[in-house]
């Protein structure tokens, strides 16, 4: 008997037929004498629809009420999943985040899971039930409902697997594993049988849509056996694990289209100015990714950095409001850009990876706007109109 946590994403639950298929997977694991915890996302684009409804009311809705609203997507899913399982003759019970003991901090919309009190889940498992838990949500110390960030159901699943010391955590999705690039865009992408946590984390953080990056981080920290599988094709999928024997120099190419560039011109070139700028951004909880600062010309310098698109308005508002304090001349933005990254754990010991990437971009006629590197990653920012061409060219250079 094993304890299995299995998570079904929105696309695997989008209609009654798909819901039945997902329930069938859980039912068959249950019938093999396993204990099964099912984590569900909202069906299809239910979360997007809920967000659109809130936005129709006004831009600055209360984060607390937003979480109450968004958590209903998963709540509907979990009830339907439990009904479906029961209809198949499998005893099942659904639990919201708070009922499942998922305690988070109070940051609505981006809450972090602090701890999980597994008593209720254990008690239900002991009663031989499949436990269906709503992903993406928890409860704040105040007792209010929180959500943990878009795509967060993966993180719920891994957190539950860690807390319950599950034997495996399976993430069911609409692709049959982790590919060298999004197989929905790059037709000749290759599937990996295994990938290590660090590579997976970089790929997820750089915009590969397959796993929520915090779920990978947590899986690594707690040594959770993580598998990505298709809910439609029966196959082995991809295992995410600590060490992969053969380090590839490049294991994947990711594209992040949720990027905007901000350039500040005429920033006074003096100690402390950059610190003031970035601490102001941090205070506003604006996540800065790539930073580029050319050498100063005279007394003034410029700086370019990237932020997620949804933070752009907020960032510009803040910057304009503190123009005199930060002492700069002008600010300009460009949200028609994207980031293309290559990731590979073997990159550090392989020469020429960067030049191969840049050559591929050059041959495709793509201009590189900014570059940033880490030990296992190289990212470039390119214009949106070069996005597809650049993505394909970089993938073709390595696969």
Residue 297 DSSP label:
B
Q: Which is nearer to ligand ASP, 49 or 363 (CB)?
A: 49
Which of 8, 30, 98, 136 touches ligand ASP (CB under 6 A)? 136
Shortest distance in whole angstroms from residue 137 CB to ligand ASP = 9
Candidates 114-122, 150-158, 192-200, 302-310: pick the segment binding Mg ion (CB under 5 A).
150-158
Q: Which is nearer to ligand ASP, 10 or 207 (CB)?
A: 10
Q: Which is nearer to ligand ASP, 26 or 337 (CB)?
A: 26
The CA distance from 161 to 214, in Å, is: 14
Which of 138, 151, 207, 344 touches Mg ion (CB under 5 A)? 151
Helix or strand run (H / E) with residue 189: none
State the number of CA atoms in the 13 A half-sphere of 290 facing the CB: 27
Residue 77 in contact with ligand ASP, rule: CB under 6 A: no
Q: Which is nearer to Mg ion, 151 or 237 (CB)?
A: 151
Which of 5, 8, 10, 98 touches ligand ASP (CB under 6 A)? 10
Greatest alpha-carbon pair distance for the chain in Å reads: 76
Residue 152 in contact with Mg ion, rule: CB under 5 A: no
Contact by Cβ (8 Å): 276, 269: no
Candidates 1-9, 90-98, 254-262, 341-349: pick the segment binding Mg ion (CB under 5 A).
1-9
Contact by Cβ (8 Å): 268, 300: yes
Q: Which is nearer to Mg ion, 9 or 44 (CB)?
A: 9
Nearest residue to Mg ion, by Cβ distance, number only: 151
Q: Which is nearer to ligand ASP, 22 or 345 (CB)?
A: 22
The CA distance from 397 to 288, in Å, is: 29
**Residue 42 binds which entry of ligand ASP, Mg ion, none, CB below 5-8 Å type-dependent:** ligand ASP
CA distances from residue 134 to 14, 76, 108, 154, 260 in whole angstroms, order as listed: 15, 9, 17, 11, 32
Q: By CB under 6 A, what part of segment 305-364 binds ligand ASP?
A: none
Q: Which is nearer to ligand ASP, 35 or 156 (CB)?
A: 156
Residue 151 in contact with ligand ASP, rule: CB under 6 A: yes
Parallel, antiparallel or unpaired: strands 35-40 and 130-134: parallel
Q: Which is nearer to ligand ASP, 152 or 344 (CB)?
A: 152
Candidates 21-29, 39-47, 328-336, 347-355: pick the segment binding ligand ASP (CB under 6 A).
39-47
Contact by Cβ (8 Å): 26, 231: no
Contact by Cβ (8 Å): 391, 255: yes
Structure tokens given for 14: 């989008």
Task: Using CB under 6 A, count the residues that bind ligand ASP.
Answer: 12
Give the CA-trace dihedral at 220, 223, 224, 226, to 10 degrees: 60
The residue behind tokens 């984590």 is 39
Convert residues 87-126 into a mask of x (bound to ligand ASP by CB under 6 A) and - (unbound). Answer: ----------------------------------------
Which of 35, 47, 173, 238 touches ligand ASP (CB under 6 A)? 47
Q: Which is nearer to ligand ASP, 135 or 252 (CB)?
A: 135
Contacts of 129 (CB under 8 A, 6+ apart): 91, 92, 93
Instruction: Look at phi and psi of residue 245 and say left if phi exceeds 0, alpha if psi is from -120 to 50, else beta.
Output: alpha
The CA distance from 196 to 209, in Å, is: 17
Which of 71, 146, 153, 379 touches ligand ASP (CB under 6 A)? 153
CA distances from residue 218 to 9, 114, 307 in whole angstroms, order as listed: 18, 12, 24
Query: Residue numbers of the site for Mg ion (CB under 5 A)?
Result: 9, 151
Query: Residue numbers of the site for ligand ASP (CB under 6 A)?
Result: 9-10, 41-42, 47, 73, 135-136, 150-153
């Amino acid at each position: 008997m094993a304890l299995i946590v299995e998570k079904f994403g929105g696309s695997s639950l989008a209609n009654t037929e798909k819901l039945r298929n997902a329930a069938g997977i859980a039912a068959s694991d249950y019938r093999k004498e396993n204990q099964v915890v099912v984590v569900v996302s909202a069906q299809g684009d239910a979360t997007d629809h809920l967000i659109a409804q809130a936005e129709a009311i006004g831009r600055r809705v209360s984060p607390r009420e937003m979480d109450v609203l968004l958590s209903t997507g998963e709540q509907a899913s979990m009830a339907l999943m439990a009904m479906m399982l029961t209809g198949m003759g499998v005893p099942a019970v659904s639990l919201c985040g708070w009922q499942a003991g998922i305690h988070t901090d109070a940051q609505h919309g981006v809450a972090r899971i602090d701890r999980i009190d597994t008593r209720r889940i254990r008690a239900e498992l002991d009663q031989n039930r499949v436990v269906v838990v709503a992903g993406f949500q928890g409860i704040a110390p105040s007792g209010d409902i929180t959500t943990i960030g878009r795509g967060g159901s993966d993180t719920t699943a891994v957190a539950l697997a860690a807390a319950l010391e599950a034997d495996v955590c399976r993430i069911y999705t609409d692709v049959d594993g982790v590919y060298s690039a999004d197989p929905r865009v790059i037709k000749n992408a290759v599937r990996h049988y295994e990938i290590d946590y660090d590579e997976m984390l970089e790929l997820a953080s750089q915009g590969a849509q397959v796993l929520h990056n915090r779920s990978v981080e947590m899986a690594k920290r707690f040594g959770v056996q993580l598998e990505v599988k298709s809910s439609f094709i029966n196959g082995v999928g991809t295992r995410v694990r600590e060490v992969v024997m053969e380090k590839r120099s490049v294991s994947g190419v990711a594209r992040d289209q949720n990027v905007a560039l901000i350039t500040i011109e005429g920033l006074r070139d003096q100690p402390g100015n950059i610190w003031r700028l970035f601490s102001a951004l941090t205070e506003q909880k604006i996540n800065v990714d790539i930073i580029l600062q050319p050498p100063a010309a005279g007394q003034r310098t410029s700086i370019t950095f990237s932020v997620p698109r949804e933070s752009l308005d907020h960032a510009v508002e803040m910057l304009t409001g503190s123009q005199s304090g930060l002492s700069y001349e002008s600010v300009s933005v460009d949200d028609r850009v994207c980031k293309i990254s290559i990731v590979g754990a073997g990159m550090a010991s392989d020469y020429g990876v960067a030049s191969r990437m840049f050559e591929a971009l050059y041959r495709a006629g793509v201009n590189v706007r900014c570059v940033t590197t880490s030990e296992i990653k190289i990212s470039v920012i390119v214009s949106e109109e070069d996005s597809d061409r650049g993505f394909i060219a970089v993938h073709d250079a390595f696969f």
